[in-house]
């Protein structure tokens, strides 16, 4: 991924900023006066936007003011100064491609400087609802249910039972559904397909952004796809989840190769040597194979829904030494508390420091099904604990987990 830091302010003087505000006012996009008639200058610098984003849009809204924008920044222009009505709750929204930034901040007569670090949308493969659920944050802002994408040339392709999503090295979305790998360029409800490839068996996969490869488990081994052809790697374990780490290593959960595919655990696989270089299994940690794995900030995180209490989510170092674990079943399912999970099943691709899990459980005939997102800062801590969503097929609802 290409990141850019833009710190040059377009309007370096009050005079230039006033001219800009006057232009927008004449265009009918904003009212420069708040309820108290005062304004302040907000300088916005966009950081960490992928180089593939060709256009950024910014809006500013809040109580007692007319919405500013959306203003479209021309290619190469990602910094500007706006005259904004003063007030405590000014909402700055920036979007471009699959990346977004949202900040609620007060604007005073002294002004405000914002360093807008772009982050990807939260995209959930809502499998049993046949859609991608897309939100900007854990409050559900900007909810979209994407049910089809446009193949050019060709008719819209319905999104059927999506299994996983990730972001490629250009900031585009990768989705696997209907036995095909799809690269989607834009998060609109009819987002155009950049590439549509049949990659059978890629339900368990990991994308190498450094090398531009897709690794996926086929049931008999690991395959590496580069967009043109496939290279096969021998692996005798039984994978249920994969993630790319640093140095080109792949972390795999399931039944380990070291045990002859009989014992559940987590392994570190080196494609350069076709070998497992580290392996961890412990009957006190894994009652059955874990469901998913991710690599964030130099650590390996494992979703272990069937593990005993205290071991629902695991944290390992790169040598697969267990660093921390937490998570228990809710003592009161009607009132779950932080550090309690119904069944952490799959990590959401975030490209950042956040950990977001798809958490599901319950029984259909008992009307106790749970489908929600859980976000937290790190294993072993309740810091940053947030939940969002519930079971169903409407807005702010999911059905990625199903049990009968």
> Is residue 305 a contact partner of residue 293, using CB atoms and an 8 Å limit?
no
Sequence-ordered list of residues with C-beta below 8 angstroms from that of 168, at least 6 positions apart, any chain:
174, 183, 207, 209, 212
The tally of CA atoms less than 13 A away on the side-chain side of residue 159 is 31
Query: Mean pLDDT across the chain, nearest whole number?
Result: 86
Asked if the structure places residue 348 within a domain, the reply is no
Name the pTM for this structure. 0.85
Whether residue 114 is found in the same domain as residue 124: no
pLDDT at 13: 34
**Does residue 52 surpass a pLDDT of 90?**
no
In a domain, 288, yes or no: yes
- Evaluate if residue 8 carries a pLDDT over 60: no
- In this structure, of 17-26, 206-215, 298-307, the range with the lowest mean pLDDT score is 17-26
Residues 82, 203 within the same domain: no
* Domain shared by 159 and 102, yes or no: no
Domain count, the chain: 2
Q: Is residue 371 part of a domain?
A: no
pLDDT at position 48: 82
Q: Are residues 213 and 136 in the same domain?
A: yes
Q: Nearest-CA neighbor of 145 among 135, 153, 155?
A: 135
pLDDT for res 199: 84
Are residues 127 and 198 both part of a single domain? Answer: yes
Residues 75 and 193 grouped into a single domain: no
DSSP 256-278: -GGGTS-SEEEEEEETTTTEEEE
Give the pLDDT confidence score for residue 229 in this predicted structure: 85
Q: Would you say residue 266 has pLDDT above 50?
A: yes
Lowest mean pLDDT among 26-30, 73-77, 351-355: 26-30
User: 124 and 105, same structural domain?
Assistant: no
Report yes or no on 392 lying in a domain: no
Q: Domain containing 224 — which CATH number? A: 2.130.10.10
Would you call the peptide bond into 314 cis, given omega within 30 degrees of 0 as the criterion?
Answer: no
Question: Is residue 189 pLDDT above 90, yes or no?
Answer: no
**Are 228 and 271 members of one domain?**
yes
Which CA distances in Å does 153 have to 114, 175, 176, 348?
41, 19, 20, 30
* Arithmetic mean of pLDDT, 327-354: 92
Q: What is the pLDDT of residue 198?
A: 81
Domain end position, chosen among 84, 104, 119: 119
Q: What pLDDT is attached to residue 79? A: 84
- The region of weakest confidence among 177-181, 192-196, 325-329 is 192-196
199 shares its domain with 266: yes
The parent domain of residue 114 ranges over 14-119
More confident of the two residues 52 and 299: 299
Clarify whether residues 193 and 235 are in a common domain: yes
The tens digit of pLDDT for each residue in 283-326 reads 999 999 999 999 999 999 999 999 999 999 999 999 999 999 99
Is 391 contained in some domain? Answer: no
Edge-first strand order for the sheet with 355-361 is: 344-347, 355-361, 370-376, 386-388
Q: Provide the CATH number for the domain around residue 18.
A: 2.60.40.10
Residue 378 lies in a domain: no
Q: Whole-angstrom Cα distance, residue 305 to residue 296? A: 19
Assigned domain for 360 exists: no
Rounded mean pLDDT of 85-109? 93
The answer to whether residues 173 and 256 belong to one domain is yes
User: Is position 101 within any domain?
Assistant: yes
Verify that 45 and 187 share a domain, yes or no.
no
Choose one of 324, 350, 375: the last residue of a domain: 324
Per-residue pLDDT band at 367 (split at 50, 70, 90): low
Q: Which among 265, 299, 324 is the end of a domain?
A: 324
**Cα–Cα distance list, 193 to 82, 187, 215, 388, 391 (Å):** 35, 10, 21, 29, 29
- Residue 20 pLDDT > 80: no
């Amino acid at each position: 991924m290409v990141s850019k830091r833009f710190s040059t302010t377009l309007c370096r003087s009050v005079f230039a900023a006033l001219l800009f505000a006057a232009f927008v006012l004449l265009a009918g996009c904003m009212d420069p006066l708040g309820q108290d008639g005062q304004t302040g200058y907000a300088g916005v610098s966009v950081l960490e936007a992928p180089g593939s984003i060709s256009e950024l849009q910014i809006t500013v809204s809040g109580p007692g003011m007319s919405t500013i924008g959306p203003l479209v920044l021309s290619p190469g222009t990602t910094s500007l100064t706006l005259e904004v009505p003063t007030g405590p709750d000014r909402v700055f929204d920036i979007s471009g491609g699959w990346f977004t930034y949202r900040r609620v901040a007060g604007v005073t007569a002294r002004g405000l400087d914002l360093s807008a670090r772009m982050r990807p949308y939260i995209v959930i493969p809502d499998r049993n609802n046949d859609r991608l659920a897309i939100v900007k944050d854990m409050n559900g802002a900007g909810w979209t249910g994407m049910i089809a994408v446009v193949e050019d040339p060709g008719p819209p392709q319905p999104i059927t039972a999506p299994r996983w999503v990730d972001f490629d090295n250009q900031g585009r979305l990768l989705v696997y559904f209907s036995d095909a790998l799809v690269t989607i360029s834009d998060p609109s409800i009819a987002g155009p397909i950049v590439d549509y490839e049949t990659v059978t068996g890629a339900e368990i996969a990991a994308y190498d952004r450094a090398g531009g490869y897709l690794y996926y488990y086929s049931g008999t081994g690991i395959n590496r796809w580069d967009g043109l052809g496939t290279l096969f790697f021998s692996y005798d374990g039984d994978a249920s989840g994969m993630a790319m780490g640093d140095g080109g290593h792949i972390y795999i959960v399931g039944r380990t190769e070291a045990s002859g595919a009989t014992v559940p655990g987590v392994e570190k696989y080196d494609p350069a040597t076709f070998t497992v270089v580290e392996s961890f299994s412990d009957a006190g940690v894994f009652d059955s194979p874990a469901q998913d794995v991710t690599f964030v900030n130099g650590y390996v995180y494992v979703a272990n829904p069937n593990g005993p209490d205290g071991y629902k989510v695991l944290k390992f170092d790169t040598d697969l030494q267990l660093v921390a674990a937490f998570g228990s079943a809710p003592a009161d399912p009607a009132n779950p508390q932080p550090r309690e999970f119904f069944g952490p099943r799959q990590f959401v691709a975030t490209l950042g420091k956040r950990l977001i899990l798809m958490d599901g459980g319950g029984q259909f005939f008992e009307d106790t099904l749970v489908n929600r997102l859980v976000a937290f800062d790190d294993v072993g801590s309740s810091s940053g604990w947030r939940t969002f969503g519930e079971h169903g097929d409407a807005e702010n609802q999911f059905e990625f987990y199903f049990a009968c």
